């Protein structure tokens, strides 16, 4: 007697995501564009409610244990480390809130916040990070060489600096990732629903990016440089069609300025490898240097033909 095997139930595969460019991924949920404004209110509101008491507690305890510090000086005492942790608290709390909003409010896969395709392009991130460190460092040293009145004051303690980088470097990575996922990711994709022009989206995002980096010690050109930096980060994101290149540049910039080269104008007490004396950070002429640095970085990553030194993956049709 033949054995009759039971039929396997038919399982319908999940529908494939439509082939969209990075900026177009805000259309995935099919909801009205205003839901992104509601999502921003939720992200900023909940983050503020949670972060304010946590920051206050960390600063209060830190003041009793030691002065505020970032960079290698955070190794000196528990108080210094708490002050550094307070600096990153909004990002540590805001990032998971942003991801929850993306999943619950918009019903989108998490990877669509940084790429149309699943997975993380670690090679693109490392290339962008390494090239950015070289370009930013070379530009800064070249500018200082031309300005003989602003010499670097070296204070090299490599073992201590490397230890601080290993311990606190992940916090800087979380910080820049959270900002890029919010501004170049969630906010840009939401704005693209209302302003279907990438250039306008980049300008609006830059206009919101600058005020959140307010520092009373900054001169006017520092804010202009922040505006330019935001536009650069958007350009890298649009060209790469994903976020890893922007995260690499952002991380290199922050690590270089706050952990590699310190200045009193940053408003953060630190012990970097070298220090620029004085209160002002940068100069109006530095804007031209920033433009040149970005042009060099863009050419190294993508080249005039769009492929650069490393050919990027062709987006799906």
Which among 232, 270, 13 is positioned nearest to 132, based on CA atoms?
A: 232
Contact 249, 228 (CB under 8 A): no
- Which neighbouring-strand residues pair with 276? 263
Provide the pLDDT for residue 287: 81
pLDDT value for 314: 42
Check residue 267 and give its pLDDT. Answer: 37
pLDDT one-digit tens code per residue, 3-19: 555 555 555 554 555 56
The per-residue pLDDT for range 31-85, each reduced to its tens digit, is: 888 899 999 999 999 999 999 999 999 888 877 765 555 555 555 566 667 777 8
Lowest mean per-residue pLDDT among 7-16, 108-117, 180-189, 288-297: 7-16
pTM score, two decimals? 0.82
CA 145 to chain centre: 29
DSSP 180: H
Q: How many helices (H) and strands (E) does the chain have?
A: 9, 3
Q: At a CB cut-off of 8 Å and minimum separation 6, what does 185 contact?
A: 113, 114, 243
Encoded tokens for 37: 């404004």
What CA–CA distance (Å, rounded) separates 144 from 149?
A: 8
Residue 311: pLDDT band with limits 50, 70, 90: very low
Determine the Cα–Cα distance for residues 8 and 5; give it in Å rounded to an integer: 9
């Amino acid at each position: 007697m033949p054995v009759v095997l039971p039929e396997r139930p038919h399982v319908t595969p999940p529908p494939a995501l439509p082939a969209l460019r990075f900026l177009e991924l805000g259309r995935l949920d099919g909801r009205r564009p205003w839901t992104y404004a509601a999502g921003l209110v939720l992200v900023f509101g909940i983050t503020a409610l949670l972060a304010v008491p946590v920051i206050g507690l960390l600063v209060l305890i830190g003041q009793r244990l030691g002065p505020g510090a970032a960079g290698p000086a955070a190794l000196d005492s528990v108080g210094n480390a708490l002050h550094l942790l307070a600096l990153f608290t909004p990002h540590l709390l805001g990032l998971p809130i942003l991801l929850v909003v993306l999943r619950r409010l918009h019903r989108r896969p998490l990877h669509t916040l940084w790429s149309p395709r699943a997975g993380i392009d670690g090679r693109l991130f490392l290339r962008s990070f390494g090239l950015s460190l070289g370009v930013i460092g070379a530009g800064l040293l070249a500018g200082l060489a031309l300005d003989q009145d602003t010499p670097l004051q070296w204070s090299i303690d490599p073992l201590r600096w490397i230890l601080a980088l290993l311990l606190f470097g992940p916090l800087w990575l979380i910080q820049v990732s959270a900002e890029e996922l919010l501004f170049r990711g969630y906010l840009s994709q939401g704005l693209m629903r209302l302003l279907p022009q990438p250039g306008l989206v980049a300008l609006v995002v830059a206009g919101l990016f600058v005020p959140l980096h307010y520092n009373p010690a900054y001169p006017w050109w520092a804010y202009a440089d922040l505006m330019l930096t935001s536009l650069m980060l958007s350009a890298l994101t649009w060209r790469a069609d994903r976020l890893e290149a922007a995260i690499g540049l952002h991380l290199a910039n922050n690590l270089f300025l706050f952990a590699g080269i310190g200045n009193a104008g940053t408003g953060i007490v630190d012990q970097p490898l070298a220090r620029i004396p004085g209160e002002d950070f940068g100069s109006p002429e530095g804007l031209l240097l920033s433009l040149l640095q970005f042009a060099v970085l863009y050419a190294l990553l993508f080249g005039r033909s769009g492929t650069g030194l490393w050919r990027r993956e062709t987006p799906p049709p």
